Homo-oligomer: A and B are copies of this chain.
Amino acid sequence: MLDFLRLPERTTKPRERGITHVLDKGLSLDQVRDFLESAGECTDIVKLGWGTAVVTPHLKEKIELYQSSGIPVCFGGTLFEVCLRQRKLEQYLQTVRTMGMEYIEVSDGTVPMAEDEKIALVRRLSREFKVLSEVGSKHAGVVIAPYKWVESIKRELDAGAWKVITEGRESGSVGIYQPGGEVKEGLVHEIADAVDVTDLLFEAPVKSQQVWFIKRFGANVNLGNIPPEEVVSVETLRLGVRSDTLLTFH
């Protein structure tokens, strides 16, 4: 009905850029159905946040519900880290396979891991899965120098990572953000100067962050950790039909 409007061009599924990556932190099956109806078209991949899968009833059914709508699912990186810490990587991978998941997140945001070990894991897992490898600490106090970010990102991409996620958490207050949520602009620019942003997935749970990335890198920047109820809003920001990006695109 509103197709008379001129809108910024959007990539189409399956997307390599313009990805909206959504954080499901415990939706019920019917809530997933509601989400798929209203925002499924705008969603490229869903992460079952951190270890929520451990307490999710009907886990397989839930994952299949997403998958049957053409939306791949992956577990949160924290679950991977717990399994690794308990030396249960093989059982974890078996579960991932049983769930029919094609994507896997490799992170060391909480449990320290030697860089060589991480690279070896990314390399190995990339042969079987699309690896989302995450860079950055989940701890507010930890500041990593920009050149270190760039180095890690490049190594993980070289090792086969599909995309590298830049840490932001559910709160958008660590990693590439100041504790108050402002983008560390110098850091992001330094990363973007050295790496193709198509290979990055910026966690950006907060609107002001989404706006910043869309204005800086365009409608088809990859954004992650979007809360389910904000996916429609993110799409309107990409299309310039929300105040914050209207004058950018129209």
B-contacting residues of A (Cβ < 8 Å)?
1-2, 4-7, 25-31, 33-35, 37-39, 41-42, 49-60, 78-79, 81-83, 85-86, 88, 91, 95, 98-99, 109-111, 138, 169, 171, 207, 229, 231-233, 235-236, 239-243, 246-247, 250
Contacts and interface: CB of A to CB of B under 8 A. Distances in A.
Given A5-B82, A55-B42, A86-B6, A243 B25 contact: no
A26 B231 contact: yes
A50 B1 contact: no
Copies in the complex: 3
Contacts of A86: 5-6, 250
Contact of A1 (B26, B99, B235): B99
6 contacts: A2-B53, A2-B95, A26-B229, A29-B37, A54-B239, A56-B232
B38 A57 contact: yes
| A contact face: mostly helix, strand, loop, or mixed | helix
A70 to B, nearest CB: 15
B51 A81 contact: no
Given A38-B28, A232-B25, A138 B243 contact: yes
A12 B93 CA distance: 30
Given A236-B50, A240-B82, A26 B38 contact: yes
Nearest to A107: B243
Given A4-B91, A5-B54, A246-B111, A79 B30 contact: no
A95 B2 CA distance: 7
Contacts of A56: 38, 232
Contacts of A207: 171
A220 B109 CA distance: 26
Nearest to A7: B54
A111 B248 CA distance: 12
B110 A54 contact: no
A213 to B, nearest CB: 18
B236 A51 contact: yes
A52 B2 contact: no
A1 B239 contact: no
